C-alpha cells in the first residue's frame, strides 16, 4: 500500500466533479428548490421515474470542453481529478453496454469520460472515477426507488427480497460496470466509492478484486463496504465537508468540500465560499497532512458555473505566488 500511495501523499489539491442528469434539473422541480443536495433531486424531489428518465434522455452538453476543465484545474494548482462516472441516480457518463440508462441513449450519445481522462493526462493531472456502488435508483440498486416512486421499482415495502435484488444488481450492473471502468481507460490513479448502504462483505470483496485485479496501482477511498470510511478495503479516509481538528500525519486522508451547499449544480445557490476561505481550507488541510478535494458541479451544457471559474482563477493567482510546484 505505501508504495502505491506515493503520489497521493503529496497530491495536496484535487478537483471533484459531480455531473450527470441531475444537473439538468438545476436543483429545482416544478419551480421549487428541492431539499438538501441537488444531485439527490430524483429522490428528494420525489420526481416520477418517467419524468426523470425523459429528462435524462435529452442530455446534450454542447459546450462540454474537457481540455478547458483540465486546464482550469491545473492552473488552480490541482494535481488530480475525480469525476462521477455514475452517481446515485445510476446514470452512466460512459457508453456502458450493461444498461440503457446512460449517456449513450441521448442526443450527445458518446462517452464523456475518455476525453476527460485524456485532457487530464495532458494537463499532468492524476485521474480517476467516483462510482456509486450500492445506491442506484435507475438500475434498481440498493433500496431500489422506494423513496421516490413505489410504482416504478420492483422492490416493495417487503424488505425480505432486498438482499436478492441487491445481489442481482451487483451481478448485472455494478460488477460489469466496475470491470468496464477499470479496463477501458488505461491506467487510472484513483477510485472513489460512495454510500455502501447494505452492501455485504462478499460484494465489497468482489468489487475490490475487480478494482485491484485490473488496476494494481490504483488508490481507493474507504467507502466500499458497510462502515462508511472503514478502510478495510480502501487506502484513505474521506472527511466530508470538514477538516479534522488535529493533524493526522501518519495516515492517508482527504477532505472533500463543495464551494456552495451542493455537489451537483443548483441554479439558486448563490452562497459561495470566498476564495480566501477556500485557500484557508486548502492550507489547513495540507498542513494537517491531508489532501483537499474541491468540488465543481458543472451545468447541463457542460460549462462550469462562473462563480467556480472565478474562484479557481483566483486560487491560481495565489498559487503562482505561494504555491509549490
Could you say which of 240, 271, 310, 320 contacts ligand JFZ (CB under 6 A)? 240
Compute the least distance from the CB of residue 84 to ligand JFZ, in Å: 7
Grid cell for residue 143:
433500496
Number of H helices, E strands in the chain: 11, 10
> In the bound complex, what is the minimum distance in angstroms from residue 187's beta carbon to ligand JFZ?
24
Among 180, 194, 235, 237, binds ligand JFZ (CB under 6 A): 194
Helices 306-322, 275-287: inter-axial angle, 10-degree rounding: 50
CB under 6 A: which stretch of 34-42, 96-104, 179-187, 212-220 binds ligand JFZ?
Answer: 34-42
How many C-beta atoms lie closer than 10 Å to residue 104's C-beta? 16
Q: Which stretch binds ligand JFZ (CB under 6 A): 36-44, 148-156, 304-312, 315-323?
A: 36-44
- Please say which residue, 68 or 195, places its beta carbon nearer to ligand JFZ: 195
Size of the residue set binding ligand JFZ (CB under 6 A):
10
Candidate residues 19, 37, 191, 193; the one interacting with ligand JFZ per rule CB under 6 A = 37
Q: Which stretch binds ligand JFZ (CB under 6 A): 37-45, 182-190, 211-219, 269-277?
A: 37-45
Nearer to ligand JFZ, 40 or 91 (CB): 40
Residue from 5, 55, 146, 195 binding ligand JFZ (CB under 6 A): 195
What ranges in the chain are assigned the alpha helix state H? 6-9, 22-25, 41-44, 49-56, 66-75, 113-122, 162-169, 175-183, 201-214, 275-287, 306-322
Give least dist CB 228 to ligand JFZ, A.
4
- Facing residues of 81 across strands? 15, 127
Task: Please count the residues of the chain.
Answer: 325
Q: Are strands 253-257 and 219-220 parallel, antiparallel or unpaired?
A: unpaired
* Cβ partners under 8 Å of residue 160, min gap 6: none
Name the phi and psi angles at 80, rounded to 5: -150, 165
Contact residues for ligand JFZ (CB under 6 A)?
Answer: 37, 39-40, 194-195, 228-229, 240, 256, 263
Amino acid at each position: 500500500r505505501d508504495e502505491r500511495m506515493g503520489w497521493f501523499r503529496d497530491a495536496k489539491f484535487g478537483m471533484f466533479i459531480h455531473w450527470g442528469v441531475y444537473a439538468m434539473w438545476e436543483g429545482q422541480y416544478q419551480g421549487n428548490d428541492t431539499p438538501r443536495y441537488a444531485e439527490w433531486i430524483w429522490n428528494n424531489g420525489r420526481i416520477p421515474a418517467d419524468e426523470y428518465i425523459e429528462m435524462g434522455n435529452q442530455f446534450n452538453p454542447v459546450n462540454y470542453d474537457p481540455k478547458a476543465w483540465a486546464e482550469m484545474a491545473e492552473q488552480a494548482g490541482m494535481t488530480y481529478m475525480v469525476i462521477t462516472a455514475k452517481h446515485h441516480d445510476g446514470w452512466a457518463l460512459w457508453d456502458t453496454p450493461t444498461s440503457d440508462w446512460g449517456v449513450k441513449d441521448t442526443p450527445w450519445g458518446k462517452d464523456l469520460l475518455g476525453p476527460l481522462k485524456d485532457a487530464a493526462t495532458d494537463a499532468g493531472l492524476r485521474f480517476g472515477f467516483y462510482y456509486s456502488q450500492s445506491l442506484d435508483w435507475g438500475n434498481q440498486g440498493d433500496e431500489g426507488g422506494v423513496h421516490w416512486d413505489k410504482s416504478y421499482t420492483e422492490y416493495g415495502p417487503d424488505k425480505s427480497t432486498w438482499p436478492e435484488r441487491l445481489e442481482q444488481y451487483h451481478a448485472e450492473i455494478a460488477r460489469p460496470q466496475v470491470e468496464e471502468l477499470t479496463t477501458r481507460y488505461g491506467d487510472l490513479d484513483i477510485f472513489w466509492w460512495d454510500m455502501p448502504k447494505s452492501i455485504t462483505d462478499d460484494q465489497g470483496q468482489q468489487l475490490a478484486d475487480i478494482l485491484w485485479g485490473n488496476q494494481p496501482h490504483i488508490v481507493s477511498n474507504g467507502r466500499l463496504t458497510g462502515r462508511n470510511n472503514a478502510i478495510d478495503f480502501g487506502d484513505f479516509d474521506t472527511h466530508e465537508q470538514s477538516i479534522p481538528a488535529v493533524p493526522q500525519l501518519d495516515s492517508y486522508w482527504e477532505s472533500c468540500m463543495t464551494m456552495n451547499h451542493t455537489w451537483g449544480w443548483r441554479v439558486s445557490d448563490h452562497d459561495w465560499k470566498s476564495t480566501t476561505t477556500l485557500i484557508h481550507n486548502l492550507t489547513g488541510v495540507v498542513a494537517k497532512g491531508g489532501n483537499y478535494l474541491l468540488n465543481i458541479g458543472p451545468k447541463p451544457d457542460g460549462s462550469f458555473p462562473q462563480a467556480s471559474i472565478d474562484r479557481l482563477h483566483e486560487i491560481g493567482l495565489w498559487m503562482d505566488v505561494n504555491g509549490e510546484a
